[in-house]
Every structure is written in C-alpha cells, then in structure tokens.
Amino acid sequence: DTGVSQNPRHKITKRGQNVTFRCDPISEHNRLYWYRQTLGQGPEFLTYFQNEAQLEKSRLLSDRFSAERPKGSFSTLEIQRTEQGDSAMYLCASSLTSTRLGEQYFGPGTRLTVT
C-alpha cells in the first residue's frame, strides 16, 4: 500500500489522559499536514511540516497539542490532558512540493473519542 497510513484508526480515552497518533506519509512526499474534522464539518488545518521542520501551527493547536516529524518521514501528534472537546477525526495528509504543489493526499484518519 503506497498511500498515507494512520494509526490507530480508533482511540477511546478517558478525559485527562494523553494520546499519541502516528501518520506515515507517501514515501517520497516531503510535506505532511494534520487536520481535525468534527461531525458535520470540513477538515480544519492544525499544522504542517516540510521534511522535519514545522512551518505553521494553527491557533486551534493549543499548548496541549504537539506534533513532531523527527526524521522527515513519519509524524506523531500528541494530545496531553485530553478534554471531551478533543473528540474528533484527526486526519493526516501529505504532498510533494516539487511537482504537485498543494495537492494533498489524505490518510484514513484516527477517530478519537474522549469519555
């Protein structure tokens, strides 16, 4: 499978716990994006990386959220002290800047439920 993969696909956690999600982009893609999608809404941008550098963070990304892409390949998104409002689908996308600038391919998402 050469598409974007995300793990886990589903996560149920209790309020106050920490969670970490992983995204593996398409292998040759140098840009990686995180979005959040709540029910009935379109995805909202959270942050993105070019290689290992984090280039932009949305104001939606509170201090409890942190994302890394340590070797410019896979990325992790951690949420500390989860709140019920964090329940959403977390989507990862990747793109290749040298040819298809801006064309982002999405993974299947991680659905987070905070109880």
Partner 1 sequence: AQKVTQAQTEISVVEKEDVTLDCVYETRDTTYYLFWYKQPPSGELVFLIRRNSFDEQNEISGRYSWNFQKSTSSFNFTITASQVVDSAVYFCALGGLNFGNEKLTFGTGTRLTIIP
* Binding interface with partner 1 (CB under 8 A): 31, 33, 35, 40-45, 48, 55-56, 58, 89, 91, 93, 95, 97, 100-109
CB nearer to partner 1: give 77 or 93: 93
Q: Determine how many CB atoms are found less than 10 A away from the CB of residue 76.
A: 14
Q: Which is nearer to partner 1, 25 or 43 (CB)?
A: 43
* Min CB(41)–partner 1 separation in Å: 6
Instruction: Compute the half-sphere exposure of residue 27: CA atoms within 13 Å on the CB side of its CA.
Output: 2
Distance CA 69, CA 74 (A): 6
Beta bridge partners of 21: 77
Residue 74 or 105: the one with the smaller Cβ distance to partner 1 is 105
Contact 89, 78 (CB under 8 A): no
CB of 97 to partner 1, least distance (A): 8
